[in-house]
A = this chain, B = another copy of it.
Amino acid sequence: MTTIHKVSTRDVRIDLHPGEGSDAIHSNPQYSYAVTLLATDKPGLTGVGLAFTLGGGNDLVCAAAKTLADALAGREIEELMADFGRTTRELADHHQLRWLGPHKGVVHLALASVVNACFDLWAKSRGVPLWRLLLDLSPEALVATLDLSYLEDVLTADEARRMIAAERPTRASREGVIARGYPGYDTSVGWFNYSDEQVRTNARKALDNGFTAMKLKVGSKETARDVRRASIVREVVGPDVRVMVDANQQWTLPVALRACLALAPMNPYWVEEPTHPDDVAAHQTLARAIAPIPIAMGEHVPNRVVFKNYMQAQAAKFIQVDAVRVAGVSEFIVVSLMARQHGLIVVPHVGDMGQIHQHLVLFNHVGLGLDRVFLEYIPHLRDSFVHPAVVEGGVYKTPMEAGSSSDLK
């Protein structure tokens, strides 16, 4: 029995080195976490939940998380998680705060922080890493943690249980990844504000560090700059390394149509966030026009309903759902289940710097049978975490500490 006895939040903001984290729209971010802390009756046992922001407004997310999490004080963790889907739905539909979304923006980021704290506490209280906890749950227990409302037209609870159960017999064939680890990709090769020379040096360094995939920020006002930088990376790494380009929503649809064709010769592995993340129709138009170049997106998709629409429209191939932006671990799993249904690939955006997602990607592969296990790697906050993700030779090593690796120093 582990009971939540005190709820608090912490506003954590971490300065970056110049240029780090910059992209076509976020010129000067301060990587920040709105942290929910669930202290228990057991000394030293605290659930830690993260939501990610770029600094400004991190206090607003903390304030909303406190309001939502206060409802959990006094709850026993196993009892809470046995019916967690219903609880999260009630939190998401808070009779006044819901107006501020619904299911998006500050209140939904706050819910991410609260939900992640509950999963972290659950895994810690059982003394296992999050990926192990999720793999050990029965299909019924796992689905009971999910809010599947508004997905009735594509994914009922029955269907979700059947999907998870269907992967059980073949699990052993995928479990080798636990000992082996899986590839990360280096996002920090070409931040937007980096010079051509920095990009060249970083691409070489990424190769030397064992990475076989890396990302470049594009989305310039002049397509020529994007093409030049992309060509530099391709020239340095050769034809076999995966190079992804990320426009961070800076193109209009007409510009995206032109820019993607201009970038085609360097053979991007995907084009990420080409235009506004709410514009499902524009992504659908673009996806058809630039095929077979695939679109990746999801960093700014707020919830399962919008992801559903993207999938129904066949508007993206790589689903970059982020558990520190959607409503935490459970909505991440919901989106992953829909991606499995639609034959899509989940490669999360890592607002958590991969700390939680290293668990979730492992679970997605072994537990849900999702292919191409692969995860973004951003090392800038390594020193801030108690158990920073270990990436060696470009490979994520499986975390073995209890919980979701979210403890901050």
Q: Determine whether A249 belongs to the interface, using a CB cutoff of 8 Å to chain B.
A: yes
Cα distance A321–B107 in the bound complex, in angstroms: 21
- Which residues of chain B are within 8 angstroms of A152 by Cβ–Cβ distance? 252-255
- Contacts A25-B93, A26-B98, A105-B105: A150 and B54 contacting too (C-beta < 8 A)? no
- Chain B residue at minimal CB-CB distance from A93: B25
Tell me the minimal C-beta distance from A11 to chain B in angstroms: 13
Between A29, A56, A254, the greatest number of chain B beta carbons within 10 A of the residue's beta carbon is seen for A56
- Copies per complex of this chain: 2
Tell me the minimal C-beta distance from A176 to chain B in angstroms: 37
Between A63, A99, A150, the greatest number of chain B beta carbons within 10 A of the residue's beta carbon is seen for A99
- Which residues of chain B are within 8 angstroms of A26 by Cβ–Cβ distance? 95-96, 98-99
- Which residues of chain B are within 8 angstroms of A227 by Cβ–Cβ distance? none
Cα distance A309–B282 in the bound complex, in angstroms: 9
- Which residues of chain B are within 8 angstroms of A64 by Cβ–Cβ distance? 57, 60
Mask, A262-301, CB within 8 Å of B = 1, is: 0000000000000111111110010000000000000010
Q: Determine whether A30 belongs to the interface, using a CB cutoff of 8 Å to chain B.
A: yes
Tell me the minimal C-beta distance from A281 to chain B in angstroms: 5
Interface residues, chain A, CB within 8 Å of chain B? Answer: 25-30, 53-57, 59-61, 63-64, 67, 93-109, 149-150, 152-153, 249, 252-255, 275-282, 285, 300, 302-303, 305-306, 308-309, 312-313
- Which residues of chain B are within 8 angstroms of A277 by Cβ–Cβ distance? 102
Cα distance A29–B385 in the bound complex, in angstroms: 41
Please tell me which one of the listed residues B98, B105, B308 contacts residue A281 in the complex, with CB atoms under 8 A apart.
B308
- Chain B residue at minimal CB-CB distance from A109: B100
Cα distance A78–B248 in the bound complex, in angstroms: 33
User: In the bound complex, do residue A30 and residue B279 qualify as a contact, i.e. CB atoms below 8 Å apart?
Assistant: no
Tell me the minimal C-beta distance from A154 to chain B in angstroms: 9
User: In the bound complex, do residue A105 and residue B95 qualify as a contact, i.e. CB atoms below 8 Å apart?
Assistant: no
User: In the bound complex, do residue A106 and residue B95 qualify as a contact, i.e. CB atoms below 8 Å apart?
Assistant: no
- Which residues of chain B are within 8 angstroms of A305 by Cβ–Cβ distance? 276, 278-279
- Which residues of chain B are within 8 angstroms of A67 by Cβ–Cβ distance? 56-57
- Which residues of chain B are within 8 angstroms of A302 by Cβ–Cβ distance? 104, 278
